[in-house]
Structure 1
């Protein structure tokens, strides 16, 4: 039996109509992870959001790629009321997240080399 998707209104997780802070995005992430553990499909509704940043999107969506495949996220996470400009930001965030989580070890080694001045 298929259940209706759960709608998460992004504006319910922000103090204003600005989705800019990573910690506010983290709240959305935590909600998504909990709902995914209950096998829910989720619709993220961006209506009422005047400004969206990559920091917010990394906190809310980017880190999902650590534990979920692109295919699974494509099937279970939908977007609604997102502007074309914000879709471009989201694409950048998801591409970076996929690259990072697929190559996490090499990213860590690169950071260590930069820090140690090698």
Structure 2
């Protein structure tokens, strides 16, 4: 990518082999700092803060807690499942409506044996 090109963050798009965990900070309200501290204690260190502008013009602030790139055909149990306990704790902390505040995205081929 040349210096004149910029890569824009889109919370709903992932690259092949990508595993990402992100918090929609702008929707967490007063709980944002508490949840970011919890995330750090769970091993999600040094979040990257990015903005995303919806088509409606609403600007969202996201904290990317984890972004890993693996082979597209990597076994999801070796990539995603290792974070299950931490993700469950984050999910509970983001309730109610955690599905609108915590994004867990993976773009891995399903590794089933045929």
Structure-2-length-normalised TM-score: 0.30
Question: Hey, which of these two has a bigger chunk of helix by percent?
Answer: 1
Relative to total residues, which structure has the larger strand share, 1 or 2? 2
TM-score (ref. length: structure 1):
0.30
